[in-house]
A and B are shown apart, each in its own frame.
Chain A
């Protein structure tokens, strides 16, 4: 049993959980994730370890409720426990000193990006952060990322905060400015966003790292359900990733495989009591 110590709401349906998991807190490196099995008979849900405190033996998770299982997790109050948490899983972020890097976060992906951005800044990179979201309430962690970023650029689709538009608009501006053009880009967010960032950076030959989020079960290389295609080769995202060179990722395949259980998952949400349905964010695909 893994006790939830804190659970607060950062953005609509996006929660920050601090959970007691001493072994994971000690072993974890930036870029790695855990698999949470909230209760007996539930699904196994991969979530990035956003932060960890090895002394206190705690890890921090940012969770967006997008379906019945993530809702179980965001609905766990402090003092209650999550049944199983396994990790840390996946490869750690390959942290190098690139010089100038841009970190691009979309929606809850911003939370996944946070530990990478911090590690990149700690390694001496000059970090510029771009955060994108639907509207102002969905922009998360701007202050926290600001602590180590040279600048934080915000874009919203409706213009309610920062510049109106998409993260790619802000990225284009940076690339066009010789003094701010990055040597590497880290992008985490909805698949269409990561794809758009990669398409934008490709002609400039700027190394672009993305963090992929296929459907997983075990997270240890045992099932192959998480397979993605990288430069035409099949890889298991849970052990070979989750981070890959974005210019080699087959995004169309990833998006398509994410829809595999759409009908069944939708039925689970339909079966929820009305009062809970509002606590789920519909993700676009």
Chain B
């Protein structure tokens, strides 16, 4: 089909628009916002790919998905092949197709960006992954690897740990994942909401790993139930992907008032514990005026959740300007469409409460931007004397997270950075031989795909380590 198009015809195709739920409707439900491409849309979009020899998009992808190859297969309506190519490099494509910042990775370098916009690689990744999920019987058979007889323990079932497990299983190693919570997925489960990443997608990706022989044990907290030393003794190698799940506190007056949440608690109640559903017992405070402090993906997820739980006004309070917001463009756009208000260049000074111990507002400081700081973003500075009051019956703190010392504090030989992250070399090797680490515990709060890239790289290093004659 593709062959029939001339270059001019190819260039004339405009970038597809993702079909979405209507903002007014979706801001009151938890169903997925993006509806996915139709087959016609997907094939046509895939035809926009110029099959560049230099493949800048592949360079831009942290796990090096062979993008032009799978796009060509989609254009030719060869879905089994497209899925085969995609799955070979990406353990969690249905997740990545939904939450990866393609606009900063593969799409930003796409040669078509300049004129009519980059090929919608992310949308197509999602399309192929969803097809694969719905058509398991049509997938090309993958060879069962020779069992290596080696065992690997993986700590944490977030994207880093899941990727590690998938890669190692394909190499024939016997993998056991230990997860502290009662469900798998890490942030994919407890952090990112249903309307952006439906939980049956996470289930399906995890099930695929189980089918290729990965063992998953929930309710095991390394550092408490078992120690890192136990794992080193019982397994041939260990990978630590326990994330950076410790919420940073605001450290201002009134933070412990009722109705003030960390984003982790707020989102965990709603996502992991299902507080958004009428049929489950987990309670949540449904604010009428909800203020979320922060400007990242976490803040956007929390504020859009508040809106769906019924908030009349759901407000982002961020200390820099929109240009500095770390959240994905799509999230900011979707939030605005859903009626989220943005109060920029302002920071909280104090949480105010009523005589019953409930939050009722925030005292805020207006800010201006000064010189760039270490992150390259312009540093916010208070405008002396310029403060204001903001009414709120729920306040959510989404200013960031740090590594959780639960595991590392019980493993004195494990080398850490000054900030408490695990120190590794470029292949994920830690200071202890046979122990590797990756994802947010090494990088600090980063992204799904960087965690996956770490998992993939460390898997190759572990494979090397295990096959080395000792």
Contact = CB atoms under 8 A, between A and B. Distances in A.
B261 A218 contact: no
Nearest to A262: B283
B269 A41 contact: no
A223 B268 CA distance: 8
Contact of A229 (B181, B256, B279, B280): B256
A41 B281 CA distance: 8
Interface residues of B, number: 37
Nearest to A2: B219
B262 A87 contact: no
Contact of B357 (A23, A41, A256): A256
Q: How would you classify the secondary structure of chain B's contact residues: helix, strand, loop or mixed?
A: loop
B274 A23 contact: no
A28 B256 CA distance: 30
A89 B281 contact: no
Contacts of A83: 182
B45 interface: no
A73 B251 CA distance: 37
A42 B279 CA distance: 10
A109 B219 CA distance: 25
A220 B258 contact: no
A44 interface: yes
Interface in B173-217: 180-182
A224 B225 contact: no
Contacts of A24: 225
Contact of A86 (B225, B264, B269, B405): B225
B446 interface: no
Contacts of B404: 220-222
Interface in A206-234: 217-218, 220-225, 227, 229, 234
B282 to A, nearest CB: 6
Given A41-B274, A268-B281, A217 B225 contact: no
Given A86-B225, A89-B224, A261-B283, A222 B246 contact: yes
Given A23-B226, A220-B404, A257-B258, A87 B221 contact: yes
A27 interface: yes
A247 interface: no
A93 interface: no
Nearest to A267: B283
Nearest to A90: B224
A84 B219 contact: yes
Given A257-B256, A260-B285, A220 B221 contact: yes
Interface string A130-147: 000000000000000000
A85 interface: yes
A153 to B, nearest CB: 35
Interface string A258-278: 011100110010000000000
A34 to B, nearest CB: 9
A285 to B, nearest CB: 12
A234 B249 contact: yes
B264 A224 contact: yes
A27 B273 CA distance: 27
B261 A225 contact: yes
Interface in B247-266: 247, 249, 251, 255-256, 258-259, 261-262, 264-265
B282 A43 contact: yes
Contact of B224 (A27, A69, A85): A27
B264 A84 contact: no
A239 interface: yes
A81 to B, nearest CB: 13
B88 interface: no
A2 B269 CA distance: 24
A63 B264 CA distance: 28
B84 to A, nearest CB: 34
A29 to B, nearest CB: 10
Contacts of A218: 180-181, 268
B13 interface: no
A205 B182 CA distance: 43
A216 to B, nearest CB: 10
Of the candidates B218, B249, B265, the one having the most CB atoms from chain A within 10 angstroms of its own CB is B265
B247 A224 contact: yes
Nearest to A88: B224
B409 to A, nearest CB: 10
A37 interface: yes
B439 to A, nearest CB: 15
Contacts of B251: 234
A84 B218 contact: yes
Contacts of B268: 217-218, 222-223
A42 B280 CA distance: 7
A241 to B, nearest CB: 14
A246 B156 CA distance: 35
Contact of A23 (B220, B246, B264, B279): B220
Contacts of A43: 273, 281-282
A253 interface: yes
Interface in A240-262: 253, 256-257, 259-261
B406 A220 contact: yes
Nearest to B279: A41
A265 B283 contact: yes
A86 B221 contact: yes
B180 A220 contact: yes
Contacts of B262: 223-225
Given A41-B274, A220-B404, A221-B246, A86 B281 contact: no
A260 B256 contact: no
B245 interface: yes
Given A41-B274, A89-B221, A234-B256, A223 B180 contact: no
A281 B393 CA distance: 31
Interface in B110-145: none
A263 to B, nearest CB: 8
A246 B285 CA distance: 30
Interface of B: 180-182, 218-221, 224-226, 245-247, 249, 251, 255-256, 258-259, 261-262, 264-265, 268-269, 273-274, 279-283, 285, 357, 404-406
Interface of A: 23-24, 27, 37, 41-44, 68-69, 83-89, 217-218, 220-225, 227, 229, 234, 239, 253, 256-257, 259-261, 264-265, 268
16 contacts: A23-B220, A42-B280, A43-B282, A86-B180, A86-B182, A87-B225, A89-B221, A221-B245, A222-B245, A222-B247, A224-B247, A224-B264, A225-B261, A256-B258, A260-B259, A268-B281
Given A224-B261, A264-B283, 9 more contacts: A27-B225, A27-B226, A37-B182, A43-B282, A84-B218, A86-B220, A229-B256, A253-B357, A256-B357
Counting from the closest, the 7 A-B pairs by CB-CB distance are A264-B283, A223-B265, A84-B182, A261-B283, A224-B262, A256-B357, A86-B219
